[in-house]
């Protein structure tokens, strides 16, 4: 089969990659579509250290082709959205409904792929830049077959992370104020989830003023060009002194320090952007005296088995925008163009379509 293999220096389209058969509790999925996420780019540019060779990609959807022993759901032929959470299902975190805290689901670095007898790592327990993958059954969540897989794939990361941060982690309430720093794929989902939650004021901040119209479409009530003027002062004016929730979808020490200054008393900063491994957070202790808080958020604090069907229902009702997230689709042979467009800020989300 074909796959995009990152050798530590470049991504190469390779034919002849094999993937092992599904074992007990596993399924094989034929990938139909996969979004490119900033985390994939972060491995390529070294921001996220990862062993190579590796097949990247962790935002995918496809069709189940085979199931291993003991699997009843999903079934062969099911259309599925894939989750990165290869959870054990037995630990205290799993049994209490907090699968993102399962340690079995973090740092999965299996080598289910081979090329000419040499092993290839998976990424985020998935590797959706391959035509076929093997995952735990719980990672493949069935969806109705009338939902386009080319947009449903985005639920697997951008939506679960962005919308989950609002609805599961921050738990934004109706009438509250929300600031979103970074209007990429994650940020747009934070914006639209804040709209769904009933936030009264939703301020989008980005360095690219062209994104204003897209943030408005997804639900932002205001847009701030981060390159023009005093961003903190602008936020305070729009939120009557400070925001109830600030979502940092970019990462980086300078941005995070500014985000703290945008909070109202009792406000909370939710960290979604991936900082480099050496990055530190330096915040004046006085920032916390008025009940301000900083919250980490892994994968939107999601419960994929429950959240993916919920987001599909919101999409069907017109309340959650998915088609509008896709800026452009690419064939497998055009992967480098997809990467270049993403690096140059041309995409909300680019989607890689696999050969049928």
In this predicted model, what pLDDT tens digit does every residue of 264-316 receive, in sequence order? 999 999 999 877 667 777 777 777 888 999 999 999 999 999 999 999 999 99
Give pLDDT tens digits for 94-135: 999 999 999 887 766 788 999 999 999 999 999 999 999 999
Q: Are 3 and 49 in contact (CB under 8 A)?
A: no
Confidence (pTM): 0.94
Question: What residues have CB less than 8 Å from 93, skipping those under 6 apart?
Answer: 99, 100, 101, 102, 103
Mean pLDDT of the chain: 93
Cα dihedral angle (301, 305, 310, 315), rounded to 10 degrees? Answer: 100
Report the distance separating Cα 24 and Cα 101, nearest Å. Answer: 23
Q: What per-residue string of b and e applies to 12-24 under the rule 16 or more CB within 10 Å gives b?
A: eebeebebeebee
Q: What is the pLDDT of residue 276?
A: 66
Report the distance separating Cα 51 and Cα 271, nearest Å. Answer: 25
Give pLDDT tens digits for 63-106: 999 999 999 999 999 999 999 999 988 999 999 999 999 988 77
The yes-or-no verdict on residue 204 having pLDDT over 80 is yes
What six digits make up the tokens of 74? 């999903």
Question: What residues have CB less than 8 Å from 145, skipping those under 6 apart?
Answer: 79
């Amino acid at each position: 089969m074909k796959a995009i293999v990152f050798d530590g220096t470049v991504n190469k389209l390779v034919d002849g990659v094999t993937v092992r058969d599904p074992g007990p509790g596993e399924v094989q999925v034929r990938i139909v579509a996969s979004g490119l996420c900033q985390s994939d780019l972060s491995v390529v540019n070294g921001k996220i250290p990862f062993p190579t060779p590796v097949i990247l990609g962790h935002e995918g959807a496809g069709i189940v082709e085979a199931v291993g022993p003991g699997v009843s759901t999903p079934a062969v032929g099911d259309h599925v959205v894939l989750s990165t959470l290869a959870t054990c299902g037995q630990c205290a975190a799993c049994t209490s409904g907090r699968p993102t805290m399962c340690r079995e689901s973090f740092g999965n670095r299996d080598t289910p792929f081979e090329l000419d007898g040499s092993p290839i790592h998976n990424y985020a327990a998935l590797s959706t830049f391959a035509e076929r993958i093997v995952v735990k059954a719980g990672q493949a969540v069935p969806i109705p077959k009338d939902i386009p897989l080319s947009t449903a794939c985005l639920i697997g990361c951008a939506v679960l992370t962005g919308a989950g941060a609002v609805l599961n982690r921050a738990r934004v309430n109706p009438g509250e104020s929300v600031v979103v720093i970074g209007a990429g794929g994650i940020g747009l989902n934070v914006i639209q989830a804040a709209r769904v939650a009933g936030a009264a004021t939703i301020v989008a901040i980005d360095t690219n003023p062209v994104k204003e119209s897209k943030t408005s479409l997804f639900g932002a009530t205001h847009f701030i060009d981060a390159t023009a003027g005093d961003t903190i002062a602008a936020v305070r004016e729009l939120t009557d002194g400070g925001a109830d929730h600030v979502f940092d979808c970019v990462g980086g020490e300078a941005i995070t320090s500014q985000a703290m200054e945008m909070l109202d008393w009792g406000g909370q900063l939710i960290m979604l952007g991936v900082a480099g491994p050496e990055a530190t957070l330096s915040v004046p202790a006085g920032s916390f005296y008025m009940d301000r808080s900083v919250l980490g958020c892994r994968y939107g604090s999601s419960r994929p088995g429950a959240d993916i069907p919920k987001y599909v229902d919101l999409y069907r009702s017109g309340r959650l925008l998915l088609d509008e997230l896709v800026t452009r689709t690419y064939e497998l042979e055009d992967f480098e163009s997809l990467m270049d467009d993403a690096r140059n800020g041309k995409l909300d989300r680019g989607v890689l379509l696999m050969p049928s």
